[in-house]
Amino acid sequence: MTAPTLPLSLPYDLATLSERGAELTLAPAPSELAAIAAWLGALGLERFTAEIRLTRAGDDTYGYAADFSADVVQACVVTLDPVRSHLAGEVKRRYRVMAKLRLKRRDLDSPVDLSGSDDDTEILPTSELNLAAPLLEEVALALDPYPRAPGVAFEPPKEERVPAESPFAVLAKLKERSAGAPAPEGPTKAKPKS
């Protein structure tokens, strides 16, 4: 199964990151905002910005931190009217680039640890990272799953419900009917012709 395609890509080769780190700004174009809104299942995304900071934590380990801000328009779950909300948050990730396996004779005898040292460290197969991916994940998680327009409350339809008969009551009625009805005759046998 393949991962769903993200509506925004900002590739960065972590192998090129200096010891000073890097700071980048994310500000998608209007067409990209529309694609992100469709991916989120929202009516619109009016604004989405982020400040991303990358740091080198070791030879193959990197830190990712970002602050984001987004103005989203969702449909009210009751009236379907547009509901605007402002989302803001912080994203932190830790990445480790999986070392290339050297197929030398001495390496074949020793086990390879691909698990990483920390539980919160994500292992990357290559040094290329989509810087937009963690931000899109966090915005999707920050969305209100049941947005409502101000002052709107859900009220179930008012129907008179007839209490359902219990299965045992139905069975008892069937027994009464069958007890009062004449017993069915057995199968008729055909008389042999002589």
Neighbouring residues of 159: CB distance < 8 A, sequence distance ≥ 6? none
Neighbouring C-beta atoms of residue 68, cutoff 10 Å: 21
Cβ distance 112 to 132 under 8 Å? no
Instruction: Give the strand pairing for 121-124 and 61-75.
Output: unpaired
Task: Decide if 98 contacts 125 (C-beta within 8 A).
Answer: yes
- The token pair at 71 is 């103005």
Query: Is a pLDDT exceeding 60 seen at residue 194?
Result: no
* pLDDT, tens digit, 9 for 90 and up, residues 152-183: 877 776 776 666 778 888 888 888 888 776 65
- What does the pLDDT look like over 51-75, one tens digit per residue? 999 999 888 899 999 999 999 999 9
Question: Which has more pLDDT, 179 or 136?
Answer: 136
